[in-house]
Structure 1
Amino acid sequence: MLESNNVNLVKYPRLIVAAIILGVILNPLNTTMITVALPAIQHAFQLSSKDISLLISSYFIVSAIFLPLAGKLSDHYGRKKIFLSGLILVSLSSLLAPLSPNMLFLLGMRTIQAIGTSALFPAGIGIVRTYINKNQNRVIATIAVFSTTSAALGPTISGLLIQNAGWSVIFYVNFPIIITSAILAFVCIPNDKKQAMTPFKWDVIGILLFSLLLTCWMVFLQSLENGFNVVTFMLTIFISLLFYHYEKRKKEPFINVLFLTKNPKISFVYLQFILVTLIFFALILSMPTYLQKVMMLDSKSAGIMLLSISMFAMLMTPIATRWIEKAGFRIPLMCGAIVGILGVGLLFAFNQSSNLLWVFIVLSITGISNGALSIGTQNSLYSIVSKEQSGISSGLLQTSRFIGNILASSLYGVMFATGVTDANKNSISVVLLIVSLFIIPTVLYITKKDKGI
């Protein structure tokens, strides 16, 4: 009866969904728009490749931390309040970031931006679960797809604009999206109901351990360019185990690790999403720099070249969706994985003297793979989990995406530490080929038929 009352409060459900979609695309757009701007930012602030890697990976670490936290805060204080607060933080950071006098200030603004954009997805999902009753799971899946595929447009948008307006334009792009989302949300989303003001239970130790866990893994991965550091590795493993055992005993944990251990197939969905995101973002991150520094393209041309990935990833999404509806998950996901292996393998087949059309074709193949795997992986999750589990499942899916992004940025920092060259591009390709091969067994496990499912 309560659900029915909530639904009756909504006059324009489609406008609510539009407001949420506009909000959630801000995070993926801002993770990738910066990729084409990296050479200009590196030159402006005289940064090393490790500094650039820190600028990127810190955004992902903050996002991975605040996504589940924002979900809990929105449940406690109100989804609309947290959603609008997130938009305000993104506005503030987007206004001040272009005025950055140094790397530290820019890092701070990106941190605020990450906090703000991270609030939008969990709060948005909570709003859908409260006020949108018709085709709720399909709406949630659609929002999740937009939050992923929109990342592919970032390099193209920034590449077309940076050429004439400089790197700061990537922050001003946010304002039309923010303003439209804010107006729709303020007008169309019902006000939060007053709740009993019981104190919010902060899992401070869990948050700190999770932050330390992600940081340790990032430091360990970036230190691999100097060889395998046993001490750093053992410390990272220790922190990981400590986090797991601490959260397992908490009644209200920051990350519900018991949910993951009790649902191995769901855990493998997250693992697969991490691997798919790692490949996708490693290319989105490394290719603009490679195209500008090795193939000597300007930022506009590099952005247009990145259309190869974004355009074909987005075109493949509805095709894969219909294919999955007719054939189930296994065949489309397996085909996406095989095409991905082909695409990553062909990265070895071009260099600084190659024809740009050939490079475009190779990157297009990886885009086709990403479109099929991304939508297939996300929809497979919602086919497994119950309606009651969709909230926690969606939050953990986004956390998985940022773990993949962190791994990709660490790979970028390690492989391009000695410079952007064809040899280092091939080194990244070797790692991505190994990762793409691992997707095959995850697809087989996720799509196997269990009794009772």
Structure 2
Amino acid sequence: MDIQSRGDIGMAVEKNEKFIILAVALGIILNPLNTTMITVALPAIQKDFQLTSTNISWLIASYFIISAIFTPLIGKLSDIYGRKLILLIGLMLVVVSSILAPLSPNMPVLLLMRGIQAIGTSALFPAGVGVIRNTIQHNQNRVIGTLAVFATTSAAFGPTIGGMLIQFGGWPVIFYVNLPILAIAIGLTMVFIPKDKKNTAISYKLDGIGIILFSFFITSWMVFLLGLEQGVHIGILILAVILTVIFYIYEKRRDEPFINVNFFRKNLNVALIFGQYILSTVIFFAVLLSFPTFIQSSLGASSQMAGIVMLSLSIFAMIMTPIATRWIERKGFRVPLMSSVLLGLVGVILLFTVKDNSALVWIGIVLAVTGISNGIQNIGLQNLLYSFISVSESGIASGLLMTSRFIGNILASSIYGVAFATGMNEGNMKTMAIVLVVVAVVLVPGMLYVTVSEKKNREKTV
């Protein structure tokens, strides 16, 4: 290819940047959107298939387990086989699952379709970010950061969108709604995203054992946590601990590990930030997962009204993102992040005031407090993370941050399954509140430590 041809391609890409970003954005929102749209549909699915709360928890948690496994794996494969190719494969898998999931005759088939959907959506974030890095030349880091926040924030709108749509077609409609988004994303990807360049220089050794160990230890912890309602199963706990230790030791010795545990060992402050992000996600998603069902089952509201009330959580989380960004730029990390964890503690304490006869307006206020807290923590922790690492480590840090979010979601699903195993009611809401208060209290000293460390780190570099 001559210089003139390369120049023409470069100009074409620059001209189509907005369409490329739109194509990637539409793909990226599918994972968080599909993990939360289903929350409003849980009562209907539970009734249709005669499921317990524990069964429903597996419908949610399996999605995150699969996403946690495939997101880093597909990210590496997209570097080798091409981002556009992987992006299109991911989109097509979501098309297949979105068409077939509503036709599921039983829970196992629905789980299978959700699994295929999880694999497909897992491809969209790493492949999409790779496309942005390869094609977007203007404000690339800002675009990637905006997409990451956009993906996380869009999760909060899932219950509202699902609640509105279920009124017209029952729970299957939450899958069909993906199809117009997919049609636009596939069209934009095929037309505007440049063809992949063959990359024979990169070689990747698949860490099959690491993937298997990761899958087993995550699943074993999930089984243990969901079994707490019947008592502590010592055998499963011991198995989970052993598998976790084996996974850590094995991955520590790998040159190309599935999860780079050595990155945590060398960056203790970064490891603590990931821990804070997991705990923050636990609170946010536990509230996001439980309230749509509580509003319908305990308060007797429709799925549409549940979706409207859940807007309080999503809108305040979204509004706080730009506000928190400016606040951090002016005051540093400590004051905004410490304010957010204290506000988050207030939010989970307010869960004790939620009753079977609570006014929907009060429910909205309680959700708003959690939304404000999470909006600050979400963007604050992401920016705090990048203040501790070099530019060359940003790729691995982004991938691990996404894995941390999935782990937080898995833990929240476990809390939901255990707390509401005997049904959705005021008493079990208080049980969940007790657990979340403990999580919120643990967040306080951790956030104080990392923000103090960041200030010292900044003073050294000045």
TM-score relative to the length of structure 2:
0.94
C-alpha distance in structure 2 between counterparts of 1:441 and 1:22, whole Å: 38
The Cα of 1:9 is off from its aligned counterpart by 6.4
Which residue of structure 2 aligns with residue 22 of structure 1? Answer: 26
Would the aligned equivalents of 1:9 and 1:190 in 2 still touch at CA under 8 Å?
A: no
1:439 correspondence with 2:443 = yes
C-alpha distance in structure 1 between counterparts of 2:168 and 2:140, whole Å: 42
The correspondence of residues 325-404 of structure 1 with structure 2, limited to 5 A, is 325-404=329-408
The Cα of 1:347 is off from its aligned counterpart by 0.9
1:141 correspondence with 2:145 = yes
Would the aligned equivalents of 1:141 and 1:379 in 2 still touch at CA under 8 Å?
A: no
The Cα of 1:229 is off from its aligned counterpart by 2.3
C-alpha distance in structure 1 between counterparts of 2:10 and 2:326, whole Å: 29
Which residue of structure 1 aligns with residue 13 of structure 2? Answer: 10
Would the aligned equivalents of 1:137 and 1:382 in 2 still touch at CA under 8 Å?
A: no
C-alpha distance in structure 2 between counterparts of 1:232 and 1:8, whole Å: 58
C-alpha distance in structure 2 between counterparts of 1:133 and 1:329, whole Å: 29
Deviations 1:396-418 (A, max 9, x none): 11111110010011111111111
C-alpha distance in structure 1 between counterparts of 2:124 and 2:10, whole Å: 21
1:84 correspondence with 2:93 = no
Which residue of structure 2 aligns with residue 201 of structure 1? Answer: 205
Which residue of structure 2 aligns with residue 450 of structure 1? Answer: 456
In structure 2, do the counterparts of structure 1 residues 72 and 165 end up closer, same or farther at CA, with 3 Å as the change threshold? same
C-alpha distance in structure 2 between counterparts of 1:78 and 1:446, whole Å: 37
C-alpha distance in structure 2 between counterparts of 1:196 and 1:8, whole Å: 26
Q: Give the letter aligned to residue 120 of structure 1.
A: L
In structure 2, do the counterparts of structure 1 residues 115 and 441 end up closer, same or farther at CA, with 3 Å as the change threshold? same
* SS of equivalent residue, structure 1 residue 418: coil
1:309 correspondence with 2:335 = no
Which residue of structure 2 aligns with residue 297 of structure 1? Answer: 301
Question: Which of the residues 57, 62, 69 maps onto 1:65?
Answer: 69
The correspondence of residues 61-210 of structure 1 with structure 2, limited to 5 A, is 61-196=65-200, 200-210=204-214
* SS of equivalent residue, structure 1 residue 396: helix
1:264 correspondence with 2:268 = yes
Q: Give the letter aligned to residue 27 of structure 2.
A: G
C-alpha distance in structure 2 between counterparts of 1:306 and 1:18, whole Å: 26
The Cα of 1:223 is off from its aligned counterpart by 1.4
* SS of equivalent residue, structure 2 residue 227: helix
In structure 2, do the counterparts of structure 1 residues 67 and 143 end up closer, same or farther at CA, with 3 Å as the change threshold? same
C-alpha distance in structure 2 between counterparts of 1:441 and 1:74, whole Å: 39
C-alpha distance in structure 2 between counterparts of 1:8 and 1:216, whole Å: 51
The Cα of 1:381 is off from its aligned counterpart by 1.8
- In the alignment, structure 2 segments of 5+ residues that lack a partner are 1-5
Deviations 1:153-209 (A, max 9, x none): 000000011022100000111112212222222222211101228875211100000
1:321 correspondence with 2:316 = no
* SS of equivalent residue, structure 1 residue 10: helix
Q: Give the letter aligned to residue 272 of structure 2.
A: F
Runs of 4 or more above 4 Å deviation: 4-9, 197-200
1:218 correspondence with 2:201 = no
CA RMSD of aligned residues (A): 1.7
Bigger shift: residues 309-318 or 150-159: 309-318
Q: Give the letter aligned to residue 28 of structure 1.
A: P
Would the aligned equivalents of 1:59 and 1:114 in 2 still touch at CA under 8 Å?
A: yes
1:424 correspondence with 2:428 = yes
Which residue of structure 1 aligns with residue 414 of structure 2? Answer: 410
* SS of equivalent residue, structure 1 residue 192: coil
* SS of equivalent residue, structure 1 residue 134: coil
Which residue of structure 1 aligns with residue 3 of structure 2? Answer: none
1:230 correspondence with 2:231 = no
Q: Give the letter aligned to residue 450 of structure 1.
A: K
Would the aligned equivalents of 2:210 and 2:258 in 1 still touch at CA under 8 Å?
A: yes
Bigger shift: residues 184-193 or 208-217: 184-193
The Cα of 1:7 is off from its aligned counterpart by 6.2
The Cα of 1:315 is off from its aligned counterpart by 1.1
Would the aligned equivalents of 1:260 and 1:267 in 2 still touch at CA under 8 Å?
A: yes
* SS of equivalent residue, structure 1 residue 201: coil
Question: Which of the residues 253, 257, 263 maps onto 1:253?
Answer: 257
C-alpha distance in structure 2 between counterparts of 1:189 and 1:362, whole Å: 43
The Cα of 1:311 is off from its aligned counterpart by 1.1
The Cα of 1:336 is off from its aligned counterpart by 1.1
Would the aligned equivalents of 1:83 and 1:119 in 2 still touch at CA under 8 Å?
A: yes
C-alpha distance in structure 2 between counterparts of 1:333 and 1:251, whole Å: 36
Would the aligned equivalents of 1:79 and 1:126 in 2 still touch at CA under 8 Å?
A: yes
Would the aligned equivalents of 2:251 and 2:261 in 1 still touch at CA under 8 Å?
A: yes
Bigger shift: residues 11-20 or 396-405: 11-20
Would the aligned equivalents of 1:295 and 1:353 in 2 still touch at CA under 8 Å?
A: yes
C-alpha distance in structure 2 between counterparts of 1:398 and 1:7, whole Å: 31
C-alpha distance in structure 2 between counterparts of 1:339 and 1:285, whole Å: 20
Q: Give the letter aligned to residue 174 of structure 2.
A: I
C-alpha distance in structure 2 between counterparts of 1:342 and 1:79, whole Å: 43
Would the aligned equivalents of 2:53 and 2:417 in 1 still touch at CA under 8 Å?
A: yes
How many residues of Structure 1 are paired with residues of Structure 2 in the alignment?
451
C-alpha distance in structure 1 between counterparts of 2:137 and 2:398, whole Å: 17
* SS of equivalent residue, structure 1 residue 214: helix
Would the aligned equivalents of 1:87 and 1:117 in 2 still touch at CA under 8 Å?
A: yes
C-alpha distance in structure 1 between counterparts of 2:288 and 2:440, whole Å: 16
Identity %: 58
Would the aligned equivalents of 1:7 and 1:130 in 2 still touch at CA under 8 Å?
A: no
C-alpha distance in structure 2 between counterparts of 1:24 and 1:384, whole Å: 26
C-alpha distance in structure 1 between counterparts of 2:271 and 2:369, whole Å: 28
C-alpha distance in structure 2 between counterparts of 1:133 and 1:322, whole Å: 25
